[in-house]
Chain A
């Protein structure tokens, strides 16, 4: 069962990565080529997944859209991890009071959804992939801080921390040598889970026009541009793509969590 979760997760997320890689070297048509003569073409051998209201090839746009999805996901998780992990470790190793203050601060940030941040940033600088990434990344920081802090507190109860202190190892060295390697598996799981959340958030933001500019093909925008009455398949296709990507990375994260669970490790 656990293995099945990991396999399905790997296959689904692998498909998304593959789509993005293929689109870098080859797409059936230019994804930005407008062809008014063939709008709303049905699925056929010339247009495998049909065309949209401007006659642009859907398969090409779907493949290129995977790029935006992955780039936003990777960068958003990177922002969250680069800020959240050191802060979480610092707070977990530091004074209890400081930890509580930061934790409550993170709760406040947690209450601020990515959507609100994205609207704020779009209003200030205009919507772009960058503003969407920052909005999603910043709103993911509290999750990383909270998780890292909790994991760090568990590690700080271990005697090898005391042993390192007794031999005079400086606190920053303890953080890098003892804390970080022991919380790394948990962080990997969290990254995979946050990645799927980021993909969903990006699709939502581009649906609302708060992400990439209209010329860039994204799954969210394809979903929005589809006319459900004239060509319902044009809405279903990006919908499936989003679902596969979110499901894939979610299951990958879940599978990893089960696989790396220390309680199960003892048995193995």
Chain B
């Protein structure tokens, strides 16, 4: 089944004087259980794309479908489906975790959402579900009484991951989930994300500028440059034998950075 489908999606920001075209005629089809990496340099429109999928922004033109249904942000029915099946992990847990909330209430927040609460398969025992997901992300279940600043950076991102997984989503969106971490923690968090997505049978759409992250985790990749799709396909094909000059440059730049 097709999880997400974008057809000819464009997005422009700004007023009359300065218009910024963040996305320009982007089409993308994500099948269920696939793991997509959206790559590109900063300003390529990859975060905008994720925001549209998360229902945080509406495209200027084009169509977005979630499980075959038109993603109409004004329809309560569609929003209920979106909010209960799509969750998101943000880049920096220092900003994505409310510093004045305890870990347990941060993780249980999606469970308390009125759009999710009434789903029949929803766990009613929030405390038990919180303990369960905390264990799943490799944290002691009794850390629920702590505040975010009492944890390390890697642990905080695990909390963000636990929050996203708590309401049993089918699709996980991730915006540069490891780029704010120290290098040694990155691999840990990325491995965890990868194994949880596999074991729970989720669909992953991850935005990153780091091609090594894509190579490690994703089976499909979409390359964006200045809001336009440069190239897309299975990771091995795109990265093993890139057809476009821009992709080659992107690959070369990461390889150069490695050797330095």
| Chain A interfacial positions (CB closer than 8 Å to B) | 158-160, 162-170, 177-178, 181-182
- Is the CB–CB distance between A167 and B95 below 8 Å? no
CA A59 to CA B92, docked complex, whole Å: 60
- Is the CB–CB distance between B110 and A168 below 8 Å? yes
- Is the CB–CB distance between A168 and B98 below 8 Å? no
User: What 7 pairs between A and B have smallest CB-CB spacing?
Assistant: A168-B83, A167-B110, A168-B115, A159-B96, A168-B113, A159-B95, A159-B90
CA A159 to CA B88, docked complex, whole Å: 11
- Is the CB–CB distance between B56 and A166 below 8 Å? yes
In the complex, which residues of chain B have a beta carbon less than 8 angstroms from the beta carbon of A181? 98, 100-101
- Is the CB–CB distance between B101 and A177 below 8 Å? yes
Is B163 engaged at the interface, CB distance under 8 Å to the other chain?
A: yes
- Interface positions, chain B 83-124, Cβ under 8 Å from A, are 83-84, 86-88, 90-92, 95-101, 109-110, 112-116
- Is the CB–CB distance between A167 and B109 below 8 Å? yes
- Is the CB–CB distance between B109 and A164 below 8 Å? yes
Among A158, A160, A169, A182, the residue within 8 A (CB) of B113 is A169
Q: Jot down 24 A-B pairs with beta carbons below 8 A, ordered by A.
A: A158-B95, A158-B96, A159-B90, A159-B95, A160-B98, A162-B54, A163-B88, A163-B90, A163-B160, A166-B83, A166-B87, A166-B88, A167-B109, A167-B113, A167-B163, A167-B167, A168-B114, A169-B109, A169-B113, A170-B113, A177-B109, A178-B98, A181-B98, A182-B99
In the complex, which residues of chain B have a beta carbon less than 8 angstroms from the beta carbon of A166? 54-56, 83, 86-88
- Is the CB–CB distance between A170 and B114 below 8 Å? yes
CA A158 to CA B112, docked complex, whole Å: 21
In the complex, which residues of chain A have a beta carbon less than 8 angstroms from the beta carbon of B52? none
Output the least CB separation between B186 and chain A (Å). 19
CA A167 to CA B116, docked complex, whole Å: 8
Is B3 engaged at the interface, CB distance under 8 Å to the other chain?
A: no
CA A167 to CA B80, docked complex, whole Å: 10
Is B79 engaged at the interface, CB distance under 8 Å to the other chain?
A: yes
In the complex, which residues of chain A have a beta carbon less than 8 angstroms from the beta carbon of B112? 169
- Is the CB–CB distance between A167 and B98 below 8 Å? no
- Is the CB–CB distance between B79 and A160 below 8 Å? no
CA A164 to CA B106, docked complex, whole Å: 9
Among A158, A160, A162, A169, the residue within 8 A (CB) of B56 is A162
CA A170 to CA B99, docked complex, whole Å: 20
Q: A160-B96, A160-B97, A163-B96 are in contact. Are A168 and B88 (CB under 8 A)?
A: no
Output the least CB separation between B255 and chain A (Å). 31
- Interface positions, chain B 70-87, Cβ under 8 Å from A, are 79-80, 83-84, 86-87
In the complex, which residues of chain A have a beta carbon less than 8 angstroms from the beta carbon of B113? 167-170
Which residue, B84, B86, B113, B116, has most C-beta atoms of chain A within 10 A?
B113
Nearest CB to that of B91 among chain A residues?
A159
Which residue, A158, A167, A178, A181, has most C-beta atoms of chain B within 10 A?
A167
Nearest CB to that of A166 among chain B residues?
B88
Nearest CB to that of A155 among chain B residues?
B98
Q: A160-B95, A162-B56 are in contact. Are A168 and B79 (CB under 8 A)?
A: yes
CA A177 to CA B114, docked complex, whole Å: 15
CA A164 to CA B115, docked complex, whole Å: 12
CA A170 to CA B109, docked complex, whole Å: 11
Output the least CB separation between A264 and chain B (Å). 15
Nearest CB to that of A164 among chain B residues?
B109
CA A216 to CA B67, docked complex, whole Å: 73
**Apart from the given pairs A163-B163, A167-B110, 9 other A-B contacts in the complex at a CB distance below 8 Å:** A158-B95, A158-B96, A159-B92, A159-B96, A166-B55, A168-B79, A168-B114, A177-B98, A178-B98
